[in-house]
Structures are given as structure tokens and as C-alpha cells.
Amino acid sequence: MKLHSVVVLLQCDSEIQRSLASALSRSFPFVHQVESVGELRSRIGKYPGGVAIMDMEKASFSDVERLSHDFPAASIVCTHRCADEEMWTAALNAGARDVYSSSDIPGIVRAAMTSCTSVHSAAA
């Protein structure tokens, strides 16, 4: 089942970005790969209710907080290559809906799908 939302993907590892984009494209009709937080903000601003998947090696907690504040209908899923409980808690406190290891492709896809489904259910 394809969801109607858009995913904007910012990852520092190009191999992970390609793998995530491929996996996400099975569930989402539009997956935009971006290279910077500025480009992510521009894309997510065009698609209310979209999902932003951000690598914490390319974004800061303040970026997550601003994105969450400026685009409250967007869902933010943060990733990082290291499992760091304090960093993950800080990302959640900044406004991320969920946080996953960058290598957990199935978990990230599930989080994006769940985020998208809950946003659309709340809007209904």
C-alpha cells in the first residue's frame, strides 16, 4: 500500500541514503533526497504532513526544534549511526517523533509509515 505523503531524506552516508530511498519508495510515492538542512526545510515546507528523516550528523538539535516548530504537521524521524541514549532523548525532546540507528532501515521505514498514518488519522 502506497501512502500519499512525501518523505524528505537527509543522510550523511550516501549508501544508507540510497538504501533508505529504495525501501521508502515501496511505501511512499515521493521520496526526495536532499543534501542540506536548508534544502530539507524548503522541501518539507511544500508538503504539509510530510515526513522528514534527518541524520543527526547533518542536523543539530536546534534544526530539529525549528523544523518541528515551523512545520508542526510534519513528522520528524532522526537517525544516527551510534546508539546514544542521551542524544536520542535530546532529539525526541527537540521534537522528533522517533529516533533510529541509521542502519535500521526496516525500523526507519516503519517509523515513517506510522508517522504518516497518525498524521493523516488526526487530520481526518
Residue 74 covered by a domain: yes
Domains contained in the chain, number: 1
Residue 63 covered by a domain: yes
Single out the residue of 92, 90, 87 nearest to residue 77, CA to CA.
92
pLDDT tens per residue, range 75-98:
999 999 887 788 889 999 999 999
Which three three-digit cell numbers place residue 40?
A: 530539507
What's the CA gap between 33 and 17, in Å, rounded?
8
Instruction: List the domain range (segments joined by +) for residue 119.
Output: 6-123
Residue 1 covered by a domain: no
Residue 33 covered by a domain: yes
What's the CA gap between 111 and 54, in Å, rounded?
13
What CATH number does the domain containing 21 carry?
3.40.50.2300
pTM of the model: 0.88
pLDDT tens per residue, range 4-45:
689 999 999 999 999 999 999 998 989 999 999 999 999 998
| Cα Rg of the chain, angstroms | 13
Single out the residue of 64, 54, 123 nearest to residue 90, CA to CA.
64
Residue 56 binned pLDDT confidence (cut-offs 50, 70, 90): very high
Q: Which carries the bigger pLDDT value, residue 118 or residue 124?
A: 118
